[in-house]
Amino acid sequence: MRMQIIQSIQNRIHTIRGESVMLDRDLAALYEVETKVLNQAVKRNLKRFPEYFMFQLTKGEYESLRSQFATLNEKDQYLSSQIVITNIGRGQHSKYLPYAFTEQGIAMLSGILNSDKAINTNINIMRAFVAIRKIVLQQQDIKEQLHAIKERLSEHDVQLSQIYDAMENILDEKASQRKWEERERIGFKPNK
């Protein structure tokens, strides 16, 4: 069950401006509060949220994500049945651009949303970010291993090519020696 929750959270993590972030409405749904309530709590504690913890999306960034939202909501059936989704129905097409929270910003949210639900949700969100980092590190490790294998294969190709050339030279020498011995001798032939 915990893996389903973490997977559901991972589906809500987006990469924007090179950062892994979650949107205010997704966080509000996870914390089971309205997006407006979450954003008001953040605005009351704005000193805790510098730009690298939280930023507002541009219209272009929001438009590029909107196409992903429909697919995301279809895939996220488990969480949809477990919590109230605030982005369905009224408020789905908000006149305000959403805020994106980085991992540090989400950790800071736990300090201003101090309910048991918020604490448990934050723990699961941090687990999701850790799982994503592990996957990225594993992919990097696999890339490095593939690169090392490719280099070794290149070295082996060169070595095999050298062995092939050496064998060809040996065969050519033997062929030329055989032909010389099989040739009919010309010139003075002593009588026996």
Domain boundaries, the chain: 2-134
**In this predicted structure, what is the pLDDT of residue 88?**
41
pLDDT of residue 118 exceeding 70: yes
Looking at per-residue pLDDT, the higher value among 119 and 26 belongs to 26
pLDDT of residue 155 exceeding 60: yes
CA distance 113 to 120: 11
Name the least confident of 13-27, 95-109, 144-158: 144-158
Residue 24 CB partners (closer than 8 Å, separation 6+): 35, 38, 39, 42, 98, 99, 100, 101
| Residue 90 token pair | 């009224």
- pLDDT band at 85; cut points 50, 70, 90: very low
CA distance 84 to 67: 21
pLDDT of residue 179 exceeding 70: no
pLDDT of residue 87 exceeding 50: no
pLDDT of residue 99 exceeding 90: yes
Residue 63, amino acid: E
pTM beyond 0.85: no
- pLDDT band at 76; cut points 50, 70, 90: very low
- From the number of C-beta atoms within 10 Å of its C-beta (0-12, 13-18, 19+), residue 155 rates as exposed
Q: What percent of the chain has pLDDT above 70?
A: 78
Computed over every residue of the chain, the mean pLDDT equals: 76
CA distance 15 to 151: 32
